[in-house]
Each structure stands twice: as structure tokens, then as C-alpha cells.
Structure 1
């Protein structure tokens, strides 16, 4: 259960911005502007203008994506805008073949693979997401399954993708072992996830549940070394790693944070990694 205090949320951005200023990234005028904002926020909280404290629980990925499947592909998800161009570029450098989109969701990567001339199989734990994926890639074969127990034979795919899913798991090792198992020797694995640093900037995915309350999906804060350890243990070698930053955006942080602390939000997010994208190869 997360305890969410609106003033604390805003002060978190201010604190990150001021730490960067303390390290020399910003000058006196910036610091004084942040301190003025903090005084204004505290006064607004005392006047009851910042809203109220709430408590947010967690929802499992199956239930969570049942709700999210309705809007997942709608414009406005900044993480998709960050990861998709890089994944497309990586796939463009691989020869087409038999491909698995593991935790395929609505079929974002399935569509990229199909466009590359691959035959596509998609697996996901959400029936609702699978329905969206099938609508998007009619030539694909889609099946219900768990990322850690894929219902597929060994060494059967030339390419495996896994987009924005591994960070929902409590540990990376079992999933990487499965992804490597279904890859042919010499086959390629391409993954993307939200970067752990962005989870501290409010990047944890949330949905409105059946009771009308907001609930968060599980989010593991995996460092690059965690991915490396899991991949090497599974018999994979690293080909590429990308940590793209959030692009400048007038929407960064959301409307509430921007109303009270736009300068702090922009400073806190500047050059902060948004996603981590890997390309691996199964050792022949």
C-alpha cells in the first residue's frame, strides 16, 4: 500500500532539482526559484489547495492489464514513444525468421516483427491483451501463457522480443532462462523496460480497478547489472544496450506537478533514463 501525500510528491521533485543544483548544474537564480516554489506549496497545502492524502494498493498484472488493454494503444504513453523506435532499429538489423513476442500485450512488437517478414507467435498472461494483439496481427498465432513458463518447445525461435514486461516480475532470472530456452542457438533476444531511475519519478503504471480505485501494477527496480547477471546465467551474450532519456515535453510529470513545480520537474527529469533496451544473442 502506497501512502501518497500530494505535498510530498511535489517536494520530491523540488528535492531532486535542488540536489542537481547543489552539484553545480544550476545557479543561484534557479535555487531561489525552487525555494520560492516550496514556500508557495507549503502555504497552499495549509490552505487545503493541493488535494488530500490517499492510499494506493497493488493489482496483479492479469487484472491490471484487463483494465489497461482498453486504452493501452492510445496516444500519450511516453514510454512507448521512447522504446519503439529503438526496438524497430534493432529488429531492422536482424534477418527475418520465426519470432516470439513474449508478454506480447497488444502486439506492439508483434506488428514490428510481422512488418519485418517474420512469422509471429505471441504469448501473454492477459486474454484481453491477446485479443488486441490478434486484431493487430491477423497472421500471428497467439496463446495464453506465463513469461516464466512459456508453453513452447526448446530452441524454436530465431528472434524473441519482450517489451515493457520484465520489470513487473519479482526476479529476472527465471524469465531470462525461459526466453533463452526457446531461442535457437545464435538467435536474438530484444527486450525493453522502464528504467529503474524513472520509477522514482512517478513512473509506476497504475489503473483504475473494478471498485473505481487506483491500483498500481508490480514494479521491480532492476539495475543494468541485474539484467546482465540474468542474461549471462541463461547463456546469452550482450550485443547492445540503450538507456534513452526522456525527451523534453510540456507534459512531463503530469498536470498536477507542472501546475506547481514545472521548473523542478524539468530539472529532475533532464537526462534521466526513461527506458533500458537490450539486444542479446544466445551463445551457439
Structure 2
């Protein structure tokens, strides 16, 4: 039963047919009538543009445990705060603007995102930031345009790190700082997915890719970046939860069965090395 449960954990979003069969088997063994709300199994996979367009209208409404953990971490908040000499900040994958400080005198803040619908939500908020639609793999900025780059919950949507890190390093000034926060590979390997209720009432998800710490180190080294610090943010004591995360009326970001102390987020701090 333990191995069956782990198989369910890893594939409950991405392979609902397998999960349904396993749940029915466990249900039979346990003599239960409905072990996990079988009618809620199954979500349609969408690419990053289609998925976030569909998700944009409700993105800020549902609780997201990864985002909440991110902005509740003093380590991350401190690292993402510009220093006195960092007056040009680029937020890559800014989305709806969660976590962008409103009061930041003397700082030019630019946000770029591939998804126009997410940026439209941001534009309706009272946040003084210049928003530009663009691709993180081909940023519409000249070399060395920024002092600080913030990149949150974007890289896990990309299958490879080297191309995007090379582009991020390009627009950083010499000695500029890159701050990355994303879902930890452990969480992804144990079932974490970005799942949401679509506008038509179904379930959708945008797939994520696990990147190990070693993947980040290798990609940074090949992109003229030196990693200065790595933090693995763990789930706190109150984070214990169960598999039944899909609410009947609204969907929260999928989080697997977790125990306090398990790694949830990865924070990587780097600086450019080129002159």
C-alpha cells in the first residue's frame, strides 16, 4: 500500500487514469466507499501561455502555499529587496505583480511577462511598475540594463536552465545580482503541480520541470554567473496536509502530502562575472 500511495502521489495530476485505478484498488482493500473524491481526478495540461491566460482571472484569489511560503520567508524577502546601489530592477515573469513593493523611492522597476492577460491584471493594480510583454529567452533590453533581476516561479516551467540564465545574465550589469526562487525539485518529484479551475469550470495545469541544485550551479557557470548563496526553504510545522487539495468550488495550487522539514522552495543568489 505504501508503494501504491507513493505512485499516486507522483502522478495524481499528470496521469489520472493510473491514479484512478490505484485508488479504486486501495478503496477495495480498505473497504471504503470513496477514498479521495474520484470525480475530481484529471486535469487538462496547457502550455504556459494558454494556461496562465486561463488562470489569470483567478490567480490572485486562490491560496497558493508556495507563494505564501516565499513571501513569508525573511531570507527571500531580504534577498529580493534592492540595495542602495540597485536602482534598476527587472522582475522576470512578474505575472500579476505579487510581491512587488509599492513604496520604493529612487528605483526604476520594470516587469516582463510572456502572458498579456497576467500583465493586464497587474496593470489594474496600484503598483508603479513599467510592464512589458516579452519572453525570458529573448528579453527586449540592451546588455547590462539592470542592477538586480528577480525571477520567481518561472524557471520550473522551462525544461532547460542554460538558455534562460544566459539571457538573464546578458541584461545584468557587470557585478549585477540575480535572485531566483522556484519550486524545489523534491516537491515536484513528489507531485507538486500548478493546478487551477479553468474559466469553463474544469481543471487545468501548467507542467513544471524539476531542476536540481547541481543543474542551477552548472547553468550558472556556463552563463557568466557565480552562485553566491543557495537556500532550501522547508515546509514549516503547520504545512502538513493531505492529497485532497482540489476544492469543490475553487482550486488551490496543488501541493503533495508533505511533512514539516521537507524542502519546498529553492533560492539561488548569483552575480555576473563578466567585466
Q: What is the TM-score when the length of structure 1 is the normalising length? A: 0.76
- Are 1:281 and 2:271 an aligned pair? yes
Q: Greater shift after overlay, 194-203 or 133-142?
A: 133-142
Q: Greater shift after overlay, 201-210 or 143-152?
A: 201-210
- Are 1:241 and 2:230 an aligned pair? yes
Distance 1:10 1:244, change over 3 A: farther
Map 1:167-178 to 2 at 5 A: 167-178=156-167
Distance 1:64 1:124, change over 3 A: same
Map 1:54-93 to 2 at 5 A: 54-74=41-61, 76-84=63-71, 85=73, 86-92=75-81
Match of 1:272 among 238, 254, 262: 262
Equivalent position of 1:216 in the other structure: 205
Distance 1:166 1:245, change over 3 A: same
Preserved contact between residue 7 and residue 50 of structure 1 (Cα < 8 Å): no
Q: 1:150-196 CA deviation, whole Å, 9 max, x = no partner?
A: 11111100001111010000111111011000000011001110011
Preserved contact between residue 237 and residue 281 of structure 1 (Cα < 8 Å): yes
Deviation at 1:215, TM superposition (A): 2.2
- 5+ residue gaps in structure 1? 12-37, 258-264
Preserved contact between residue 114 and residue 137 of structure 1 (Cα < 8 Å): no
RMSD over aligned CA atoms reads: 2.9
Deviation at 1:135, TM superposition (A): 3.2
Distance 1:219 1:107, change over 3 A: same
- 5+ residue gaps in structure 2? 1-12, 247-255
Equivalent position of 1:121 in the other structure: 110
Bigger CA radius of gyration: 1
Q: 1:184-212 CA deviation, whole Å, 9 max, x = no partner?
A: 00110011100111123331101234554
1:115, 1:127 → 2: CA distance?
A: 25
2:126, 2:164 → 1: CA distance?
A: 24
Equivalent position of 1:158 in the other structure: 147
2:126, 2:213 → 1: CA distance?
A: 32
2:234 is paired with a residue of what secondary structure?
coil
Deviation at 1:40, TM superposition (A): 8.9
1:136 is paired with a residue of what secondary structure?
coil
Q: What is the TM-score when the length of structure 2 is the normalising length? A: 0.79
Match of 2:179 among 165, 178, 190: 190
1:250, 1:229 → 2: CA distance?
A: 31
Preserved contact between residue 91 and residue 113 of structure 1 (Cα < 8 Å): no
1:3, 1:218 → 2: CA distance?
A: 12
1:245, 1:229 → 2: CA distance?
A: 23
Distance 1:218 1:48, change over 3 A: closer
Deviation at 1:6, TM superposition (A): 5.2
Match of 1:107 among 97, 100, 108: 97
Deviation at 1:278, TM superposition (A): 1.2
- Number of residue pairs the alignment of both structures matches: 247
